[in-house]
Structure 1
Amino acid sequence: MAHDITLSLAQAETLSRRILHHAGFGAGHVEAITKSVVAAQRDECHSHGLYRLLGIVETANMGGLDPQAVPEVIDQAPGIVRVDARYGSSLLAFEQGLAPLKEKAERNGIAVLAINHCFHFSALWSEVEALSAMGLAGLAMNPTHAFVAPAGGVRALLGTNPFAFSWPRPGGTPYTFDFATSVVARGEIELHRRAGESIPESWALDNQGQPTTDPATALDGAMLTFGGHKGSALSTMIELLAGPLIGDALSHETQAANEEGTGRPCHGELVIALSPKAFLGEQSEAGLSHAERLFEEMLGQGARLPSKRRFEARARSLEAGVSIPAALYRDLVALSGEGGRPD
């Protein structure tokens, strides 16, 4: 399309690296962040793709995170590994905690990775899929900022509080889902605002507690949880497990970075890994085969497994590259400090 720019995956990676290096991010953060945003763009998860570079650079420029932070890995307990992100991006902290998490899960059957003091902006599916690629089942969750009203409420108190799960499927793509406990991810509303498009009335409230279809008004008001009280309860669970349980902040105790330097954008993340081999021993392959029967029954009814669209998009992007709006491309190039198309 005329108003889109198409990039190869290599060009997308080069553009991301240029932007992050120009913004002062350390080499480890550059690679971890690039891997995440390009993977999301590849899978056509536009709200978590290259667009997210705008926000993380802005946060760094406002002093809301440390782009040079060196995470500290702590052997907290036999089944717990803790990583203090030291107010850097969560992605490098996750990567450095992954190996000890895997070792503990395979030894104990279940293990937890608690990431503290991190700036989290990325999709969770890539993290749980990293676990399923190792033969582990994985869950991940985190609070955000207070963008969402609890069921029956009218003011923002909860985060969008995403939750992800992945189950390994030998010889095939994993069974993976990743969703915000709000009706949509906040990035979806931001993309509608950038495009000048309205949003469904069921997504958000204005600052008077009334439904709105205007994305700018929604961003100043409160988003809604999916499924009413059920989504609200799940969101509250995530607040507790990825907040007080690991000694970190609740969503309403954080605030996006701002020019005054009073923002507190960092919080925690919780990742749980489970090992079928540890649970089942020699019967682990039979257990995975048993799970396949469920998936076959679902597909046999005409149901679609979650992430099917994303895996199809991945196949297309590996061949044809990725497309982003020209306006977004111009904004990204401006952030890179260099003109022209990345090689």
Structure 2
Amino acid sequence: MTDSETHVVLTLDEVFSLARNVLLHHGMSEAHAVAIARVITQGQRDECHSHGIYRLLVCVRSLKSGKVDARATPTLRDVAPGVVNVDAHYGFSLLAFETGLPALIKKARGQGIAAMTINRCFHFSALWPEVEMIAAEGLVGLAMNPSHSWVAPAGGTRGVFGTNPLAFAWPRANGLPFVFDFATSAIARGDIELHAREGKAIPSHWALDREGRPTTDARAALEGAMQTFGGHKGSALAAMIELLAGALIGDLTSMESQAFDAGAGASPCHGELVIAIDPHRFGSEGNPASYEAGQARAEALFAAMTGQGARLPSQRRFEARARSERNGVRVPKALYADVLKLLD
């Protein structure tokens, strides 16, 4: 089959409008629909297929579960000179993040470092859009959250951790930021779901079946447990995120999130920890010369990486971004048809 027989091509504006219309059709408030549609468009634009319009299926399933408040208005609370809190009131996390971001940025610039905690939110998206928004302000960004207990600890066979992503962004004066965003599981849950949807095999190190055996069957993986990346190292990082973005901020761990869901099939409900750092306030007592020297060291590091043929994290994603902005995005026809059915 030719590409035109298997895929449709959409402009970014068409992706955004489709996402917004689907969400509004299912009762979401305009503010939530716009915040989520914006991030879904970014995921499709950057060819992060498991975080693009496929996520509309996930969002609608969550809305139908009755767990998510589609019209919740986040509330902002000033906790301390370096801490701001946003209560999502059981809505999706993205509007809560946008609500608290201006306060986080102001505190980071005033203090040098600040944290934002988001509580009682449902989270389904990648974290790189969030840390990129922080980097766009000239700040270093970190973000992390637990999810559902789909992931077994190293040496175990049953889910304890979530996919527990960790994202980082370093602003660069000339060009796109240095960004990484990865699950501490071997792969994102959405990638296994897409493999199951398309009947494709998965690598055996991604997951275990219900008997605790490595499997290449994506459906068996979804019924079993995912594995961490890097064995005990990924397992330790996953535990750290449970502690920092769960226990520390007074919100659910991945096991508690799974129990809260009670089989409803909604996106994970938990909290999120976001940290912003002003590089101008670090170094030698905020000395501008020290800041410039630090930026030069960072660029020398990046040059040493790319100079030997290595890619910087997110480089493929940024290349995809430029391609999509020129040519639009390709969406499998079967997926596009399923998303259109959400408007029925």
Per the shorter chain, which TM-score range? Answer: over 0.9
Question: Could you say which residue in structure 2 is the equivalent of 1:177?
Answer: 180
Shift of 1:306: 0.5
* C-alpha contact 1:255 1:264 (8 A) present in aligned 2: no
Tell me the distance in 1 between the aligned counterparts of 2:163 and 2:267.
17
Q: Which of 78, 83, 87 is 2:86 aligned to?
A: 83
Q: Does 1:17 align with 2:24?
A: no
| 1:143 counterpart letter in structure 2 | P
What's the TM-score once normalised by structure 1's chain length?
A: 0.95
Shift of 1:256: 8.1
Q: Which runs of 5+ in 1 are unaligned?
A: 338-343
* C-alpha contact 1:256 1:265 (8 A) present in aligned 2: no
Q: Does 1:323 align with 2:330?
A: yes
For residues 141 and 262 of structure 1, do their structure 2 counterparts lie closer, same or farther at Cα, with a shift above 3 Å needed?
closer
Question: Could you say which residue in structure 2 is the equivalent of 1:340?
Answer: none
Q: Does 1:61 align with 2:64?
A: yes
* C-alpha contact 1:256 1:264 (8 A) present in aligned 2: no
**RMSD (CA atoms):** 1.5
Cα-to-partner distance string for 1:171-228 (whole Å, 9 max, x where unaligned): 2010000000000000000000111101111110011111111101100100000000
**Which SS does the other structure have where 1:28 is aligned?**
helix
Shift of 1:258: 6.7
Tell me the distance in 1 between the aligned counterparts of 2:322 and 2:265.
43
Question: How do residues 85-234 of structure 1 correspond to structure 2 at under 5 angstroms?
Answer: 85-234=88-237
Tell me the distance in 1 between the aligned counterparts of 2:271 and 2:134.
19
Q: Which runs of 5+ in 2 are unaligned?
A: none
Shift of 1:285: 2.9
**Which SS does the other structure have where 1:255 is aligned?**
helix
Shift of 1:300: 1.3
Question: Could you say which residue in structure 2 is the equivalent of 1:306?
Answer: 313
Question: Could you say which residue in structure 2 is the equivalent of 1:241?
Answer: 244
Tell me the distance in 2 between the aligned counterparts of 1:184 and 1:260.
23
What's the TM-score once normalised by structure 2's chain length?
A: 0.95
* C-alpha contact 1:71 1:85 (8 A) present in aligned 2: yes
**Which SS does the other structure have where 1:166 is aligned?**
strand
Tell me the distance in 2 between the aligned counterparts of 1:178 and 1:94.
17
* C-alpha contact 1:102 1:273 (8 A) present in aligned 2: yes
| 2:306 counterpart letter in structure 1 | L
**Which SS does the other structure have where 2:76 is aligned?**
strand
* C-alpha contact 1:254 1:264 (8 A) present in aligned 2: no
Tell me the distance in 1 between the aligned counterparts of 2:261 and 2:131.
31
